[in-house]
């Protein structure tokens, strides 16, 4: 049995094409490893939890008398962007029910929401 002469170039073309498709799909983000997928899922879960808990912090701020709210917003605006979350934590608004310590990420998101609401 003789092998046709076009088989060798076709085989090399198939191998190179498969390698190119694999590299392209991996670099484009269409194909991810299980580790990357787990990391991405954990990040999304963290964002969802923060988004769900931030309204609790905002609600605690809203319980303060309106005259105090203006004073607190002015003080929050005076803080640097790096320390606004710490300022919210000091006030106790980011300490969620059932926990003893404030949540840093919720405090930062709460500060962002409070400042955005004050601007509008």
Q: What is the residue-wise DSSP string for the chain? A: ----TTHHHHHHHHHHHHHHHHHHHHHHTSS--HHHHHHHHHHHHHHHHHHHHHHHHHHHHHTS-HHHHHHHHHHHHHS-TTTHHHHHHHHTTT--TT-SS--HHHHHHHHHHHHHHHH-
| Total domains, the chain | 1
User: Is 18 inside any structural domain?
Assistant: no
pLDDT the model gives residue 29: 73
Q: In the prediction, which pLDDT does 32 show?
A: 77
Q: Is residue 52 included in any domain, yes or no?
A: yes
- Per-residue pLDDT, 22: 87
Q: What is the pLDDT of residue 83?
A: 94
Domain that holds residue 73: 34-119
- Give the pLDDT of residue 97: 87
Residue 1: predicted pLDDT: 67
Residue 98 domain-assigned?
yes
For residue 68, tell me if it sits in a domain.
Answer: yes
Q: Which residues of the chain have pLDDT under 70?
A: 1
Question: Given this model, what pLDDT does residue 118 score?
Answer: 87
């Amino acid at each position: 049995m003789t092998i046709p002469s076009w088989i060798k170039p076709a085989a090399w073309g198939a191998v190179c094409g498969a390698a190119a498709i694999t590299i392209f799909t991996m670099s484009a983000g269409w194909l991810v490893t299980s580790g990357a997928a787990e990391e991405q899922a954990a990040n999304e879960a963290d964002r969802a939890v923060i988004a769900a808990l931030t309204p609790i912090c905002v609600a605690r701020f809203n319980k303060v008398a309106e005259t105090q709210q203006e004073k607190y917003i002015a003080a929050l605006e005076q803080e640097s962007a790096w320390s606004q979350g710490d300022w919210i934590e000091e006030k106790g608004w980011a300490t969620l029910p059932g926990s003893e310590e404030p949540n840093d990420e919720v405090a930062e998101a709460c500060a962002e929401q409070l400042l955005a609401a004050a601007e509008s």
